[in-house]
Amino acid sequence: MNQRTQILLGIAWLLFWLLLTVTAIQDFQRNGNDGPLWQPVLWEGSSALASTTLLFLQRHFTRRHDHLLVTPWRWFARQAIWLPVTWAVFVPLAFGIRHAVYALAGRTYSHAPWAPTFLYENVKITVFFAIFVVILFGVLSFQNMLQARLRAEQSNALLREAQLQSLTQQMQPHFLFNALNTVSSLMHEDVQRADATLTQLADMLRATLDASGSAQAPLATELRLLRGYAALMGERFADRVQIDWRLDAQAEACLVPVMSLQPLLENVFKHTVERRRGLTRISVATRRAGGMLYLAIEDDAGQLALAGATPPPMHGDDSSSAAPAAHAGGLGLRNLRARLQALYGEAATLELRQLAPHGVRAEIRLPCAC
């Protein structure tokens, strides 16, 4: 039981006995007693002191059984063991205080014979005992529920963080293999360009490693990585690709998943640019509106695969506009969808749409609260 709950229960307990004391004083006056008012205060105060002491001791010695709250009957059985102790101790303790104070005041405290007194007082303290135990059970059960929920949320958060880290790390070798293939193809054509591309690749990998320490990064950082990737691929497919950047400066502070745009651009190169000899025009657009961030990459020649369909056949290298292979939901897109789901749930979407007469548009929509 936390300190705040203990304080609240203590205040409630004090208010309860204060109410009983005020009621006792009113009854004392209503019955025409002319004696000093400290007498009803002593009666209720001694009962409060005795019951508080016994309940405190009960709580101290039964605290170790709180793990039995999941089986209430066992927990209540452990509490009930203390009821006979309360019956045996409460009356001697409370009435002993009264007799002692009266003696100090030069008076004699008189009450009913001991047998009816024990019976009446023990019935009363049993009711108090039962109320206390029921309230204690409710408070402890509620706290256990909150703690279990907190542990579950912490566990889910740690699991989600581990999954995001794993998914992000999967993207790095995937990107690296594609970049090295670009360098490999240039080595046979232009060694100087290959060397310059390797230097550019090293700079980009350094930036990628810096960004990959977290699951999210500002869009401005993501766009720098994307421009680096586009430059690398532009070296490989010189004169075969043209990229138009339409960027909203107001959106650059929005957080996005690390390496979330690169898989979309990579998809265009893999399924469209690599499969044709003609020029492929690609558009990269960002837009912020109504608390949402829109990220879109589209081309003018791609083709989405239909359910159960196979990619269209190639027509050879002599064609200047060979039909591009159909876009597929490979590792990159599956990975990206999983990360979006883990970070934003249903608030984020990734949509691939066929354009007419040719082309594919990939668009990410996610919240931007910055």
pLDDT tens digits, one per residue of 89-147: 999 999 999 999 999 999 999 888 999 999 999 998 999 889 889 988 988 888 888 88
Q: Does 310 have pLDDT greater than 60?
A: no
> How large is the angle between the packed helices 3-30 and 114-187, nearest 10 degrees?
160
Whether residue 232 sits in one domain with residue 348: yes
φ and ψ at 295, to 5 degrees?
-120, 125
Sign of CA dihedral 254, 258, 259, 263: negative
Query: How many angstroms separate the CA atoms of 368 and 365, rounded?
Result: 9
Residue 249 within any structural domain of the chain: yes
Q: Does 323 have pLDDT greater than 60?
A: no
Whether residue 83 sits in one domain with residue 223: no
> What pLDDT, on a 0 to 100 scale, did the predictor assign at position 308?
40
Whether residue 205 sits in one domain with residue 61: no
Whether residue 107 sits in one domain with residue 202: no
Residue 152 within any structural domain of the chain: no
Residue 164 within any structural domain of the chain: no
Q: Which band of pLDDT confidence, cut at 50, 70 and 90, is reported for residue 17?
A: confident
Cα dihedral 197→198→200→202 (10° resolution): 160
Residue 99, helix vs strand vs coil: helix
Whether residue 90 sits in one domain with residue 196: no
Domain boundary among 77, 111, 145: 111
Query: Residues 290-297: what's their mean pLDDT?
Result: 93
Whether residue 96 sits in one domain with residue 230: no
Single pTM value for the model: 0.51
Count of domains forming the chain: 2
Tokens standing for residue 166: 């794993």
Q: Are strands 326-327 and 303-304 parallel, antiparallel or unpaired?
A: parallel
Residue 126 within any structural domain of the chain: no
Range of the domain at 311: 192-367
Whether residue 207 sits in one domain with residue 100: no
Residue 172 within any structural domain of the chain: no
Residue 30 within any structural domain of the chain: yes
Domain boundary among 54, 85, 111: 111
Whether residue 327 sits in one domain with residue 206: yes
Query: Residues 344-356: what's their mean pLDDT?
Result: 91
DSSP 163: H
Query: How many angstroms separate the CA atoms of 71 and 137, rounded?
Result: 11
> What pLDDT, on a 0 to 100 scale, did the predictor assign at position 169?
52
Whether residue 353 sits in one domain with residue 237: yes
The closest alpha carbon to 301, from 328, 329, 282, 320, belongs to 282
Indicate which CATH number applies to the domain containing 318.
3.30.565.10
Whether residue 363 sits in one domain with residue 228: yes
Domain boundary among 64, 91, 111: 111
Q: Which band of pLDDT confidence, cut at 50, 70 and 90, is reported for residue 221?
A: confident
Residue 268 within any structural domain of the chain: yes
Residue 276 within any structural domain of the chain: yes
- Give how far Cα 106 sits from Cα of 35, 37, 45, 64, 112, Å: 14, 16, 19, 45, 20
The closest alpha carbon to 299, from 272, 260, 270, 326, belongs to 272
> What pLDDT, on a 0 to 100 scale, did the predictor assign at position 211?
58
